Structure 1
Amino acid sequence: MNIFQTIKQEKGFLAMLSPMEDVTDTVFRQILCKIGKPDVFFTEFMNVEGYCSVGKDRVDHRVRFSEIERPIVIQLWGNIPEDFAKTVKELKELNPDGFDINMGCAVRNVLSTGGGSALIKEPDLAKEIIKAVKQEAGCIPVSVKTRLGYSIVDTENWIGLLLSQGLDMLTVHGRIAKDSYAIPSRWDEIQKVVKMRDEISPTTLIIGNGDITSSRQGEEYVKTYGTDGYMVGRGILNNPWIFSGREDIPEEERFNILLEHAKLFNEVWGDTKNFSVIKKYIKAYISDFEGANELRQRLMMVNSYEDLVSLIK
């Protein structure tokens, strides 16, 4: 029984945080460990071709993590099976709790290189990649995060193919690659995935993803649609406390967590990351109190930790 099955058995379901570029780095994950930790973290996705090239030093920060963030899964993307194999062979020395293959990202620059959701159009290549990762991962669980299809919903064919690969876990975002976020996540299709799993690969855990904005909603969806868990994506930037189940977070606590986040960001990344990255979290922390909008506008102008501190204190 792997770590994910153990959590499912003990808790009844899994609550996970989606990997998001320049959002779910080790700093943010460490903050979430204090204010509301999911059952499973994922690293930011890392390109295997970049890791296997001279540009390795520019991408390996994406898989950095601390022990308090466990269980943690390293997510990888690309389209060359040999590079997946080489990357997993090296990274398994970090002893991650799993390896996840991104077959769901629909960002243009990822699609243009044949990675992410583009693999939905290349089922044979997708199978080769999964095989390569599984062979090198050994006893470390292997999973895939994907969508229902590329230009059309293709649950039966695409998801059926993935379920036949003996994955430990499959996360399904309830949209297709061509969908905008204005189109609601198709949880009815995710429910079909669960039924397919029961027939094709009963031991594969199914995680539903799309439009989850609270832990209560996530748990309701698990019960309604029969998944083994839920994954929160963009909702974490509306409420970083989402996994705690808490509401009405005091103003002072919001200030303190933003300051702690910014301080840790400086300590961990120093000059290797622009401080402006912090700005994407400002709305998450500075909201739901009188004067929040005005303060947010002022905070969006800061360019250093010192400036941020002077505005808040």
Structure 2
Amino acid sequence: MLDDLSCCPNQSAKQSKWKGQRSFRIRAAYSSIQGIPCRKKESSQIQSGIAKGVTLLSPCIVVSGLYNATTMNFWQQLEKPFLAVAPMADVTDAAFRRLIAKYSEFPGRSDVVMWTEFVAADGLVRATPEGKEKLMADLIYTDEERPIVAQLFSSTPEHMEYAAKLCLELGFDGIDINMGCPDRSIEKQGCGSAMIKTPDVALEVIAAAKRGAKSEKGGIPVSVKTRLGYLEDEVETWIPTLLRAAPAALTIHARTRKDMSKVPARWERIARVVELRDALSPDTKIIGNGDVLSQADAAQKLAACGADGAMVGRALFGNPWFFHPTKRVPLKLLALPTHGVNRDEIIVADKSEVGVKYVSMEERLRVMVEHSYLFAELLPFKSFATMKKHYKAYVHGFPGAAQLRARLMEEGNSPDKVEVVVLDFIAEINN
């Protein structure tokens, strides 16, 4: 029985027991951002603001006490090996990150790192006030998500410096620069994986981020996320270029831009990146990324390549428990692209961890509804249809899942409707 999923059918969204607690930081998404220049006289205003150390935040933007990350490099405090939440557009938003922190029990841990979605530094500088408000919503976070890294992208050093300064004042623990996104709209701006083709610009952007991330107390660390290369493996040329810039951490998606995510990740190449790191920038943390299916799988990959940490992407879909010390969603119940890993191997991987407790179908559905309410609360100006990619992941691997998914795709256009559909499903299977 799903006793804790019972509530009055006429209960409003504001009253629902699944609705997440309201964060005082939500105001950050809707407040005007003083100090960020408009298009007119843009360059001179940027330089003037940076030179004067202008305050980028409006007084009405509420960010609870700035974290002491401004006086430390948190990367040096992490346990090894550690795990990281991959920055994924329209996935690792404020709502899902909050659930991951809650159900994976983040607070107080030093073996996990949270990433935001990537945010356009150019937009933080040049967008209309309304556009800036929406971008700021991508930077909402809670202390329970720490350590948390804000990921930015830009090919304009001045914009990167300005955005890094903003993230410093917002209290983030670190800043990451996206140099791996293969999306064509991002590449047309000279950003993402396109930066692999312009290493000189990449170095200028890293230097700019470091300038913006500095403070009187030391500032926050700057890291980079990239790929093995663009059309082919460029580990021997591209990676040394980045390492000479001494980023605090370097995340390697073990595929080229040409590969996208269509071929298995080549973790053996990350072992070579580790060797280059040891020779060129010993303090840089190396994080492997690509096809990480479980904690046990991450441990196996890290043991083989010698990296400091593993970043988890698509395995998080429908699975905010991924980083929990003992709770697991069985891999065979997740809709994962496994690039040829057969069902028997997945079942063996599930059984390789001792002492774990599996998350029930009922709990997965309860958290899915909670996720829906939290998304609507924190991100009301985003299309609720974004949630449907999550429904496909939560609702998988149990009897009746296909029928429930179909109803959610058709009727799940608001948290209230999702709640009703789930309650109807539970009532049907319990009769």
TM bin, normalised by shorter chain, reads: over 0.9
Residues 21-41 of structure 1: CA deviation (Å, up to 9, x unaligned): 010011101111122256111
Q: Which residue of 2 aligns with 1:277?
A: 386
The alpha-carbon deviation at position 5 of structure 1 amounts to 1.9
1:41-190 matches, cutoff 5 A? 41-55=114-128, 56-138=132-214, 139-190=219-270
Q: Which residue of 2 aligns with 1:259?
A: 369
Of 136-145 and 176-185, deviating more is: 176-185
The alpha-carbon deviation at position 88 of structure 1 amounts to 1.2
Residues 180-207 of structure 1: CA deviation (Å, up to 9, x unaligned): 3221111111110001101111110000
Cα distance between partner residues in 2 of 1:33 and 1:293: 29
Give the SS at the match of 1:254: helix
Q: Which residue of 1 aligns with 2:102?
A: 34
Match among 300, 306, 312 for residue 409 of structure 2: 300
State whether residues 227 and 256 of structure 2, in contact with CA within 8 Å, keep that contact through their aligned partners in structure 1.
yes
Call closer, same or farther: CA 1:273–1:84 in 2, change over 3 Å.
Answer: same
Identity over aligned residues, as a percent? 42
Runs of 4+ in 1 over 4 A off after TM superposition: none
Cα distance between partner residues in 2 of 1:195 and 1:36: 32
Q: TM-score, normalised by structure 1?
A: 0.95
The alpha-carbon deviation at position 99 of structure 1 amounts to 0.3
Cα distance between partner residues in 2 of 1:299 and 1:3: 41
The alpha-carbon deviation at position 238 of structure 1 amounts to 5.5
Q: TM-score, normalised by structure 2?
A: 0.70
Give the SS at the match of 1:59: helix
State whether residues 4 and 14 of structure 1, in contact with CA within 8 Å, keep that contact through their aligned partners in structure 2.
no
Structure 2 unmatched ranges of 5 or more: 1-71, 107-111, 330-357, 424-431
Structure 1 unmatched ranges of 5 or more: none
Give the SS at the match of 2:202: helix
The alpha-carbon deviation at position 64 of structure 1 amounts to 1.5
Residues 131-176 of structure 1: CA deviation (Å, up to 9, x unaligned): 1111121220110000011111000110000011011100000011
State whether residues 18 and 232 of structure 1, in contact with CA within 8 Å, keep that contact through their aligned partners in structure 2.
yes
State whether residues 182 and 193 of structure 2, in contact with CA within 8 Å, keep that contact through their aligned partners in structure 1.
yes
Q: Which residue of 2 aligns with 1:221?
A: 301
Residues 100-144 of structure 1: CA deviation (Å, up to 9, x unaligned): 000000011111111000000001000000111111212201100
Cα distance between partner residues in 1 of 2:212 and 2:414: 42
The alpha-carbon deviation at position 278 of structure 1 amounts to 1.1
Give the SS at the match of 2:162: helix
Cα distance between partner residues in 2 of 1:228 and 1:64: 27
Cα distance between partner residues in 2 of 1:58 and 1:266: 14
Cα distance between partner residues in 2 of 1:81 and 1:183: 33
Match among 76, 91, 101 for residue 5 of structure 1: 76
Cα distance between partner residues in 1 of 2:105 and 2:176: 19
Give the SS at the match of 1:146: strand
State whether residues 44 and 62 of structure 1, in contact with CA within 8 Å, keep that contact through their aligned partners in structure 2.
yes
Q: Which residue of 2 aligns with 1:246?
A: 328
Aligned amino acid, residue 419 of structure 2? V
Aligned amino acid, residue 45 of structure 1? F
Residues 233-279 of structure 1: CA deviation (Å, up to 9, x unaligned): 11211633222251442111011101111111122123x11211111
- Give RMSD over aligned pairs: 1.4
Q: Considering only CA atoms, is the larger Rg found in Structure 1 or Structure 2? A: 2
Q: How many residues align?
A: 309
Cα distance between partner residues in 1 of 2:152 and 2:179: 9
State whether residues 240 and 285 of structure 1, in contact with CA within 8 Å, keep that contact through their aligned partners in structure 2.
no
State whether residues 240 and 284 of structure 1, in contact with CA within 8 Å, keep that contact through their aligned partners in structure 2.
no
Give the SS at the match of 1:125: helix
The alpha-carbon deviation at position 4 of structure 1 amounts to 2.0
Residues 66-98 of structure 1: CA deviation (Å, up to 9, x unaligned): 111111000000100010011112221111110
Cα distance between partner residues in 1 of 2:180 and 2:127: 26
Cα distance between partner residues in 2 of 1:168 and 1:284: 33
